Amino acid sequence: MMTIPTPSRAENVDLSTLTTMATPGVARLVITAPDSDSLQGLLRDLAREHEPFILLGGGSNTIFTRREVQPAIIRLGEGFDFIESIGEPRGGRLRTGAATNLTTVLQFALRQGLMGLEWAVGIPGTVGGAVVGNAGARGEAMGDSVERVLGLTRAGEPVCLERGDLHFEYRDSNLRDLVVTEIELRLEPGEPDAIRARMAEFRAARRGQPYGDHSSGCVFRNPSGDFAGRLIDELGLKGFAVGEARVSPAHANFLINDGDATPEDVVALIEQVRQRVRESRGIELRTEVILVDPDTVEAAS
Ligand code: EPU
């Protein structure tokens, strides 16, 4: 008889280790599901018990807005960290687990002579998170290469979405309410030198971004016809701080944690920047990062 591995549980986890913004706090319970079957069992149990939970990917685009996280945080474990070619040799199809690093996927594609993910160079996080948030750069994005998505509803029911069922837009998709577990990608054949050259172009375009600071990347979506970074910079807000949360002096759409920024500092800084842009330019900036307020998280229904 096959046994289903049990999810591992960790209590009172240091919240700063779970996101790249690294704000402090305590997560009451972090559960890591080792594979799809155990994840399904876990989600069904949580739904039956009306237990709220937070699904966390790589933590590179998520900010917790409180220090205490009571709902369980669910993470995908080693069974979701894989990448392989499928179909015809050099046919361009890859299958990958949602917890695989985006950089690992890009490097695998490069080794296989497959083009289309060069925009991802230097972007942290998992491929699952990149698909759900349609990560991208300079007009190219994850959704362009996604052929099929497997996942579970938050209540643990399996879902398979084909290309025609998938909707991607600027930094968004119709996958927000799903637990994405596996992705099939379709890429184009390309010469490794040409792929490397495109990677270098994307790397060069990111040269003005802060490197090595604790941040969640760009905080705001670019408003139609303009750039959030340009607007914030124009208002002279580079370096502006609330507590230890600061507008990056390098790129104004990056908010950085100077060391001990609390969730309250980060939330207040986001609000103040938003208010200044609203008052002076009449533009309402929308966040691109996911702000998670643990107190309002709901159970699956
Ligand atoms: N700008 C300023 N001051 C600043 C920052 C930018 O004037 O402090 C100006 C730049 O000179 C440029 C324009 O604003 O004219 C756009 O800046 P940039 O080329 O840096 O691009 P972006 O729109 O700010 C987008 C993505 C980034 C991605 C880069 C790659 C969004 C919200 N941001 O930034 O994605 O890395 O393009 O070129 O779409 C992310 O998703 O987390 C992210 C950082």
Taking only the tens place, the pLDDT of each residue in 67-76 is 999 999 999 9
pLDDT (average), residues 58-77:
97
What distance lies between CA 228 and its chain's CA centroid? 19
Residue with tokens 């009451």: 28
Q: Whose CA is nearest to atom 30 of ligand 1?
A: 137
% of the chain beyond a pLDDT of 90: 93
pLDDT of residue 88: 84
* Whether residue 205 has its Cβ less than 6 Å from ligand 1: yes
Spatial separation of the C-alpha atoms in residues 26 and 68, rounded to whole Å: 5
Amino acid at 272: Q
The best mutation among 62, 253, 256 to test binding of ligand 1, ranked by most ligand atoms within 8 Å of the C-beta, falls on 253
5-36 tens-digit pLDDT? 888 999 999 999 999 999 999 999 999 999 99
The CATH architecture assigned to 81-196 reads: 2-Layer Sandwich (3.30)
Spatial separation of the C-alpha atoms in residues 139 and 165, rounded to whole Å: 22
pLDDT of residue 154: 97
Check 66, 75, 154, 171 and give the catalytic one. Answer: 171
Give the CATH fold of the 211-292 domain.
3.90.78
Q: Say if residue 300 is exposed, middle or buried (CB neighbours under 10 Å; 0-12, 13-18, 19+).
A: buried
Contacts of 276 (CB under 8 A, 6+ apart): 232, 235, 237
pLDDT of residue 212: 84
Give the CATH fold of the 8-78 domain.
3.30.43
Domain ranges of the chain: 8-78, 81-196, 211-292
Q: How many CA atoms within 13 Å lie on the side-chain side of 261?
A: 29
pLDDT of residue 161: 98
Instruction: Write down the pTM of the prediction.
Output: 0.95
| Tokens read off for 111 | 């080794």
| Tokens read off for 76 | 């995908």
pLDDT of residue 89: 75
Spatial separation of the C-alpha atoms in residues 244 and 140, rounded to whole Å: 33
Spatial separation of the C-alpha atoms in residues 126 and 114, rounded to whole Å: 19
The best mutation among 218, 226, 240, 273 to test binding of ligand 1, ranked by most ligand atoms within 8 Å of the C-beta, falls on 218
* Whether residue 208 has its Cβ less than 6 Å from ligand 1: yes
**For this structure, is 160 an active site residue?**
no
Q: Please state the φ and ψ torsions of residue 128, each to the nearest 5 degrees.
A: -60, -45
Do the Cβ atoms of 248 and 298 come closer than 8 Å? no
Of all atoms in ligand 1, which is nearest to the CA of residue 218?
42
* Whether residue 172 has its Cβ less than 6 Å from ligand 1: no
pLDDT band at 90 (very low <50, low <70, confident <90, very high): confident
| Tokens read off for 259 | 């060391």
pLDDT band at 1 (very low <50, low <70, confident <90, very high): low
pLDDT band at 184 (very low <50, low <70, confident <90, very high): very high
pLDDT band at 2 (very low <50, low <70, confident <90, very high): low
pLDDT of residue 4: 78
